[in-house]
Amino acid sequence: MKPIAFGLIAGVAFGIADVLLMIPLQFADKTTAMTAAFLSRFAIGFLIPLCKLPIPPYAGGAVIGLLISLPDAVVTGAYAPIIISGVVGGSIIGWLSGRIVA
Contact between residue 14 and residue 93 where contact means Cβ atoms under 8 Å apart? yes
Residue 34, H or E segment:
helix 30-47
Contact between residue 6 and residue 100 where contact means Cβ atoms under 8 Å apart? yes
> Is the pLDDT confidence value at 102 over 80?
no
Rounded to whole angstroms, the Cα distance separating 96 from 35 reads 25
pLDDT band at 27; cut points 50, 70, 90: confident
Contact between residue 76 and residue 82 where contact means Cβ atoms under 8 Å apart? yes
Q: What tens digit of pLDDT does each residue of 30-77 get?
A: 999 999 999 999 999 999 999 999 999 999 999 999 999 999 999 999
Ordered by start, the domain boundaries in the chain are 3-100
